[in-house]
């Protein structure tokens, strides 16, 4: 475990087991391979093989569904941890590549780009009013299970 920690990109904090606290900007997305070459195996989100609206938009990534999810994250927070795998960056350091929750990642990225006010349940107590903070602050670091 310690050997891997020495090789990870800066800012990643090991919490416990496979759980890390990761600067949001360090998480890499997988990209859909341009060509299907059966001799090379590549990881990508299979959602991109679907056609959810009949116009080529992958299932779950259309404007309405993404807006609904984004509003849910904004009002209720993102309750889970992203699931990632270790990949090497251009400097040979281990960085997390997203495996699960791409839609949530994309919506948090959008909220951060607009620095929208998002609900921070960690600052609320029983019976208190909802507390909203800028998305860049709330999602500066996010929990990730990295395998």
Please state, rounded to an integer, the average pLDDT across all residues of the chain. Answer: 84
SS3 113: helix
List, for residues 85-97, the tens digit of each pLDDT value: 999 988 889 999 9
Residue 6: per-residue pLDDT: 46
List, for residues 131-142, the tens digit of each pLDDT value: 999 999 999 999
Side-chain-facing half-sphere of 59: CA atoms under 13 Å? 7
Strand pairing class (141-146; 82-88): parallel
Burial (CB count <10 Å: 0-12, 13-18, 19+), residue 135: buried
């Amino acid at each position: 475990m310690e050997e891997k920690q020495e090789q990870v990109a800066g800012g990643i904090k090991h919490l416990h087991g496979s759980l890390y606290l990761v600067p949001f900007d360090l998480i890499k997305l997988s990209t859909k391979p341009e060509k299907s070459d059966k001799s090379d195996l590549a990881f990508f989100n299979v959602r991109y093989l679907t056609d959810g609206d009949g116009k080529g938009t992958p299932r779950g990534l259309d404007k309405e569904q993404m807006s609904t999810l984004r509003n849910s994250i904004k009002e209720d927070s993102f309750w889970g941890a992203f699931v990632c795998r270790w990949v090497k960056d251009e400097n040979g350091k281990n960085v997390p590549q997203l495996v699960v929750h791409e839609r949530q990642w994309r919506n948090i990225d959008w909220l951060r780009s607009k620095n929208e006010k998002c609900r921070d349940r960690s600052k609320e107590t029983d019976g208190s009013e909802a507390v909203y903070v800028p998305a860049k602050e709330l999602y500066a670091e996010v929990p990730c299970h990295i395998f």
